[in-house]
Structure 1
Amino acid sequence: MLEHVAAHRYLTTRQLEALVFTGHTSEDSAARTARRVLARLGRSGLLASLERRVGGVRAGSSANVWQLTSASARLLRSDGLNFRRIAPSPRFLRHCLAVGDVHVVLRSLATETRRVRVAVEPESWRTFLGPGGERRTLEPDLAALIETPAYEERWFLEVDLGTESLPTLLRKCDVYEAYRATGAEQEAHGSFPLVWWILTDSTRAARLRDAVRRAPRLTPGLFVIVTVNALTGALVEATA
């Protein structure tokens, strides 16, 4: 649980339940166990709950948001002595929790014959050299590996909450194209991952889809653009 919180910075009780307590006989049992363990970690000073909860669909006890403390940071990280707990901005917190939601959806794809591995930033990042020899970094929110006996899928995932301009999103698409042009990912794994853009609404998704299609420097087939509401269905279809 501490490692998941460390990776995402902030996670709700519900998200930790879905990521960690997967072997219980019922959802109620998993929820009770998650709350009990989180309460114990809180009393031990290894996790701290934010004073405010996230409202809306996250209302209730499952809306508690957890973060590391200096004690847990020292357990997990070599730089834990320099750890400082700060109050996140609403925008940053929303993005962290949205990425956590996508991680939960990805993990739900796992079956007895389908293995799912998810890397959170900065583990998901890729560093490469640009055409001029400059050092560049591709920074997807998540990277996923889906393995079955029959196939292997690799994905980069970007979670957009509508706070960035369309040109900013297109510039990030350019970075994916630049990294693909290096051939590093293909050499290591045999192919380049699909890039999933997960947006808040269909209008914004349609605008990005149209902009990618019209940009001569971009390869439309490289990018899968979906809304949050359509994500689960699209992922299930992609792994069928």
Structure 2
Amino acid sequence: MTSRSIVQLEQHLTERDIRILEDLERFRLLTTRQLQRLHFPAVPLGPHTTSSSATRGTTRVLGRLENLGVIARLARRIGGITHGSALTVWQLGAAGDRFLRARRGEPKRRRYIEPGRTFMTHMLEIADTAVALIEQANAGRFELLELELEPACWRQFTSGSTATMILKPDLLVVSADAETETHSFVEVDRDTEHLPAVLRKCHTYQRYRATGNEQSGRGLFPAVVWIVPDAIRAKRIREAITAEKQLDTNVFWIITPESMNSQLAPYPAPVNT
């Protein structure tokens, strides 16, 4: 994309439009509803008096950006086409990708393809967790000092031998109030992984913890918070971790979505569901 075409496209984009493009680049996938919550909030956080007016404003802006080619809707919708436009899924379009990269002076282009349903559902659930935290921070309930999505939150390390390993959390969250900070690696569990796979991930966290890499940078090792669909899944994972004698149970916290805000917000002591 030439400097001239960047200027021409930028003339059609507002500051909010550019923030939408940046969020789609960062999150990779977002629904109309998630974009509304991020950029078109209703009162008291935004100018829209009702959720329906916020939805109309969101749909209008996303339609304009789609016509410019800077964003693209996925052919597949979450929940089926009969559930309405709020479940349309968006990703950065080719023109949007070129625009953002050109502004940063990055020549390499990222290839965007239609993701599979499993990947899409997982990414949107991760996004829902992140969006909820951003909303809480915007409402003044706490500060959000760090919110890293994958792959920015991934950690490469060497454990024991010369073998290189990669720890792949879904999120890294650091929240704070006037007195405390809460550091968390977050795993958004959909009850699709067998328990042995969950335990392997826990062992990878423990191996990374043993390197001291994270502690040297931030002075502590973040809690590992598994957000699971229901209490039954929470009980199974907790019992499996407890049965693994090599795992330090104090590192791992298993909660349901209802407990998310209290666990990831600043807290004096972790609270299990």
Residue identity matched to 2:31? T
The aligned counterpart of 1:212 is: 241
Please give the root-mean-square deviation of Cα atoms over the aligned residues, in Å.
Answer: 2.3
Aligned partner (choices 152, 155, 160) of residue 184 of structure 2: 155
Query: Does residue 95 of structure 2 align to residue 71 of structure 1?
Result: yes
Within the candidate set 65, 70, 89, 1:41 is matched to 65
Residue range with higher mean Cα deviation, 120-129 or 69-78? 69-78
Tell me the residue number matched to 1:21: 40
Greater Rg over alpha carbons, structure? 2
* Alignment correspondent of 1:84: 111
Q: What CA distance in whole angstroms lies between the structure 1 residues aligned with 2:143 and 2:267?
A: 14
Q: How many residues align?
A: 238
Work out whether 1:189 is the aligned partner of 2:218.
yes
Q: How does 1:1-240 map to 2 (within 5 A)?
A: 1-22=20-41, 23-25=45-47, 26-28=49-51, 29-55=53-79, 59-77=83-101, 78=106, 81=109, 83-110=110-137, 111-112=139-140, 114-116=142-144, 117-235=146-264, 238=267
Measure the CA separation in 1 of the matches of 2:248 and 2:107: 40
Quick one: percent identity of the two aligned structures?
39
Distance 1:233 1:114, change over 3 A: closer
Q: Is the 8 A contact 1:24 1:30 kept in 2?
A: no
- Distance in 2 of aligned mates of 1:146 and 1:235: 7
Tell me how far apart the structure 1 counterparts of residues 124 and 268 of structure 2 sit (CA, whole Å). 24
How far apart in 1 are the matches of 2:50 and 2:99? 30
Contact in 2 for aligned 1:159/1:199 (Cα 8 Å): yes
What residue ranges of structure 2 are gaps of 5+ in the alignment? Answer: 1-19
Q: CA deviation at 1:215?
A: 0.8
1:21-58: CA deviation from partner (whole Å, max 9, x where unpaired): 344134535433322221111111111111232117x9
- SS of residue in 2 equivalent to 1:16: helix
Distance 1:98 1:8 in 2: 11
Distance 1:147 1:20 in 2: 23
The answer to whether the 8 A contact 1:113-1:149 is kept is no
Question: Contact 2:175/2:266 (CA < 8 Å) preserved in 1?
Answer: no
Give the match's secondary structure for 1:108. Answer: helix
In 1, Cα distance between equivalents of 2:209 and 2:95: 41
